[in-house]
Amino acid sequence: MSVPRSPRRRHSPLRGRAVPFAPGSVPLVGFAGSVPQACQSIQDEINGVQADLDDLQFQLRHAAPEDKPAIKALIRDDNKQLVTLHNQLAECIGSHNVPPPTEAFFIGTSTLTTTNADAPGPFFDNPQFRLNIGGDPARINIETFPALGAVFDTPVGPGTTTVTLIGGGTGIYDAGKISLPVTLHFATTVETPVGDTTDSSDLSMVLSTDPPEGSPVTPPPGPFGNVTLFGSGTFVGGFLGGSTGTLTVTGKIKPFVPVPVPYVITLFWNEAQDEVRSAGLVPEFFVDRSGGGGPNITQTSWVNHQSPVFGDMVEEGTVVSMSVTDTEQT
């Protein structure tokens, strides 16, 4: 019996797929473009076999019972081929001495302006996100990107916008020079006398350290140091559609060192605040009135709950939320 195959998918690499390694093999750097150029042909073969394997697994789910044994045999063949290719790639990477990616953390400020008359800005924020930098050729990759926010006034009422990263996030790193394409999604709510209205726009741009607006990582070649990224693009969709958005991000790339969350339960709020800050984290307090406590934080308010919990390893700058009460401790 002949089982239909999909030549187009078999020979088309599946971009961006994370391919697991066999135990004991050399792991790939965790983002696209990090495989040494001399080993890329092996990675392309892996992607093609993985795409074919995905196709066969789809066929297996929908095949008649009498066709499944042949499809399973083809899946076993692909699995064997993947193991062989993984080992070949591991040997290739090992022979080219590719360093592991550098884990980093960006802390800084951002300024966004638009040419829209109803929302010109400038809008400021304090982004903090994880990066990794490395590979051959070198790449820079955003690992985490928290939502940013902006508040503005319109002729019909106040507006708020939440900004999230929905595309890009992987770019080129060359001795402190950065070129990083991103696509940002702007979800906007405007409060009007007749009710809230919602709107969304997308903004694609390349954030670059090119002067005069940008500035490469200092001191060169990095990857740690002060940096300024600048980019602009045209909004697509929504009331911002057609206008130009300009974003400047300035700050410092630091080594990423996870820090443990301290134990602050039962501490007075000011003691807990000091403990959290000394760990490089950001304290945030809420009043817990469930036990009959007062509505405000007082000198005797103490922490009865915290999140993240004690011992969790988190990024520097992570917010530690604590509920406090001024009831008597038991």
Confidence class for position 247, pLDDT limits 50, 70, 90: very high
Predicted model pTM? 0.58
| CA atoms 155, 156, 159, 165: torsion sign | negative
Per-residue pLDDT at 18 exceeds 50: no
Across 195-199, 219-223, 234-238, 323-327, the highest mean pLDDT is recorded for 234-238
Q: Which residues contact 312 (CB under 8 A, 6 or more apart)?
A: 260, 261
CB 1 within 8 A of CB 106: no
Residues 6+ apart with CB under 8 A from 61: none
What integer is the mean pLDDT of 174-186?
94
Question: CA-to-CA distance for 267 and 273, rounded, in angstroms?
Answer: 9
Q: Could you tell me if 204 and 167 are in contact, meaning their C-beta atoms sit under 8 angstroms apart? A: yes
Q: Is the pLDDT of residue 323 over 60?
A: yes
Cβ-Cβ contacts under 8 Å for 84 (sequence gap 6 or more): none
Residue 209 contacts by C-beta under 8 Å, 6 or more apart in sequence? 176, 177, 178, 179, 215, 216, 217, 227, 228, 229, 230
Q: Is the pLDDT of residue 6 over 80?
A: no
Distance CA 13, CA 25 (A): 22
pLDDT at 29: 33
Asked if residue 259 lies in contact with residue 279, where contact means CB atoms within 8 angstroms, the answer is yes
Write down the pLDDT at residue 165.
92
Average pLDDT on 279-290 reads 85
C-alpha distances (whole Å) from 153 to each of 158, 160, 191, 236, 246 are: 4, 9, 10, 21, 19
Residue 143: which region, alpha, beta or left (left: phi > 0; alpha: psi -120 to 50)? alpha
pLDDT band of 149, cuts 50, 70, 90:
confident
Distance, CA of 176 to CA of 183 (rounded, Å): 22
Q: pLDDT-derived band of residue 200, with 50, 70 and 90 as boundaries? A: very high
In this structure, of 191-195, 260-264, 291-295, the range with the lowest mean pLDDT score is 291-295
Which band of pLDDT confidence, cut at 50, 70 and 90, is reported for residue 178? very high
* pLDDT above 50 for 8: no
What CA–CA distance (Å, rounded) separates 69 from 57?
A: 12
Q: Which domains does the chain have, with CATH numbers?
A: 7-95 (no CATH), 102-255 (2.40.160), 259-325 (3.30.10.20)
User: In the predicted model, is pLDDT for residue 171 greater than 80?
Assistant: yes
pLDDT of residue 99: 64
| pLDDT value for 13 | 25
Residue range 247-252: mean pLDDT, rounded: 96
pLDDT at 307 over 50: yes
State the pLDDT at residue 330: 67
| Confidence band, pLDDT 50/70/90 cuts, at residue 100 | low
- The mean per-residue pLDDT over the stretch 298-302 comes to 86
Task: Please state the φ and ψ torsions of residue 285, each to the nearest 5 degrees.
Answer: -120, 145
Residue 154 is predicted with a pLDDT of 77
Lowest mean pLDDT among 19-33, 182-196, 270-284, 307-321: 19-33
State yes or no: pLDDT of 116 exceeds 60. Answer: yes
pLDDT surpassing 50 at residue 19 = no
